[in-house]
Structure 1
Amino acid sequence: MVDRRTVRRLGGLLGFVLAAGLAYALYWRKNPSPCPYSQRVWIDLPRPVLTRSRLRKLLAPQPGERVLEVGPGTGYYTPSVAQQLEPDGTVHALDVQRPMLEQTRARASAEGSKNVVPVQADAQALPYPDDAFDAAYLTVVLGEVPDQDQALSELHRVLKPGGRLVVGELLPDPHFVTLETLHQRAERQGLEFDDYVGTRFGYIGRLHVPDGR
């Protein structure tokens, strides 16, 4: 039988672990950064709400289009979108971490997608001219960018007039961006909100660049 002293010690240990976990989550939220490559197993798990089919439905990729993916991670969505663009369209998969890009390249190749272009760069300074893409998307990524307004401004810049932008967010990601926050920040950068699927705890939203800029 467990005595009271042991129960108190276990309770104290559990409390310490929970407090440390909460402190780490709060620190990570205030100091956004990409998910480290060493923790890639977490970003490769199935994603309720943020399914591949829902992403494709809102993004509506068409054959021949040029699409930008920001923060592909290990390529969870990349081949699925790339296949919709064949035979002449391309997905530019952009990430700040080269190991993630190597994983994305390998995954796309294994699934038969030859139209994926890995690019190492920062979402806050996209290495493309204005009006370079028909559409762009990022899932569970926006909150990891230190300057989200700058990232949205850059996405607005590289998208063609009428270009689509799809953003996915899901709790319990410590960098979770609420739908309301996304709406406000996107509007500040001249993007117009169209629609979303999901709930306040997880959603995929679609925006677009106005035709008249």
Structure 2
Amino acid sequence: MSGRSGKRPAARGPLALIPAALALLAAGYALRARRRPAACPYRYRLAVSLPRPFLTRGRLRRALSPSPGERLLEVGPGTGYYALHAARWVAPGGTLHVLDLQQQMLDHTTRAAAAENLGNIIPARGDAQSLPYPEGHFDAAYLVATLGEIPDQDRALRELRRVLRPGGRLVVGELLPDPHMVPLATLRARAAAAGLRYEGRLGTRLGYYARFSVPEEI
């Protein structure tokens, strides 16, 4: 019998440094992403189309509580992962407005909607920091893994409050490992400063939906 254990020796040399180098690159990207928030480029559209186990469509529906006939707003629809379902939640008679900085994302969503015979999605190119809608225009709004990409989150939350009617709902979804993730405590503080009332959370620290509302007029 040989005295060797049969185990291969640990990898040495330049190849052994690859995992550490990749980890450093990922950490560097995450740090830069936090310092310089920016929308996910269209070339990464496959990533925003992947399933999201912590931020499911079913949980979004529970948090948002949409009803037929309502007017909804989604900021940052990407390729329509949530939009195609939300449009059905408010049918018949309701509409879903989708706003994105990138025309390519809007075009992708509208093509997907047309392929599924959905005619109640209304796209608009614009900035969440200056929403192109009148005051009190929407019954509810939502954005998922998007708030952290906006340079001035406080301004965006004030704008969302402005375009929601009294009693209107806002749902914000955040998840790891998104480098732009906004912690719940930070989100609650910013939302309160914008005049939004916190109503609860679905999910965990790994991924959550937080629901807010606009106080009713007295």
Q: TM-score, normalised by structure 1?
A: 0.95
Q: 1:120 to 1:200 in 2, by over 3 A?
A: same
Q: Is the 8 A contact 2:161 2:195 kept in 1?
A: yes
Counterpart amino acid of residue 104 in structure 1 = T
Aligned: 1:33 with 2:38: yes
Q: CA deviation at 1:133?
A: 0.5
* Counterpart for residue 74 of structure 1: 79
**Structure 2 unaligned runs (5+)?**
1-6
* Counterpart for residue 112 of structure 2: 107
**Structure 1 unaligned runs (5+)?**
none
Aligned: 1:172 with 2:181: no
Could you give the per-residue CA deviations for residues 102-151 of structure 1, whole angstroms, max 9, x where no partner exists?
11101112222110001100000000111110000000000000000000
Aligned: 1:143 with 2:151: no
* Counterpart for residue 23 of structure 2: 18
SS in structure 2 opposite 1:193?
A: strand
Aligned: 1:209 with 2:209: no
* Counterpart for residue 199 of structure 1: 204
Counterpart amino acid of residue 86 in structure 2 = V
Q: CA deviation at 1:3?
A: 8.1
**Aligned partners of 1:53, 1:175: CA distance in 2, in Å?**
23
* Counterpart for residue 97 of structure 1: 102
Counterpart amino acid of residue 65 in structure 1 = E
SS in structure 1 opposite 2:13?
A: helix
**Aligned partners of 1:168, 1:58: CA distance in 2, in Å?**
10
**Aligned partners of 2:118, 2:83: CA distance in 1, in Å?**
9
**Aligned partners of 2:117, 2:57: CA distance in 1, in Å?**
17
Aligned length: 212
User: How large is the Cα RMSD of the aligned pairs?
Assistant: 1.6
Could you give the per-residue CA deviations for residues 67-107 of structure 1, whole angstroms, max 9, x where no partner exists?
11000000001121111211211000000000000111011
**Aligned partners of 1:36, 1:180: CA distance in 2, in Å?**
28
**Aligned partners of 2:54, 2:22: CA distance in 1, in Å?**
29
Q: CA deviation at 1:2?
A: 8.2
Counterpart amino acid of residue 171 in structure 1 = L
When Rg is computed on C-alpha atoms for both structures, the one with the higher figure is 2
Counterpart amino acid of residue 167 in structure 1 = V
Q: CA deviation at 1:15?
A: 2.3
Could you give the per-residue CA deviations for residues 4-52 of structure 1, whole angstroms, max 9, x where no partner exists?
8x71322333322221221121101110000000011111000012111
Counterpart amino acid of residue 52 in structure 2 = R
SS in structure 2 opposite 1:7?
A: coil
Deviation above 6 Å: which 4+ runs of structure 1? 1-4
Counting aligned pairs with the same residue, the percent is 52
Counterpart amino acid of residue 138 in structure 2 = F
**Aligned partners of 1:2, 1:63: CA distance in 2, in Å?**
63
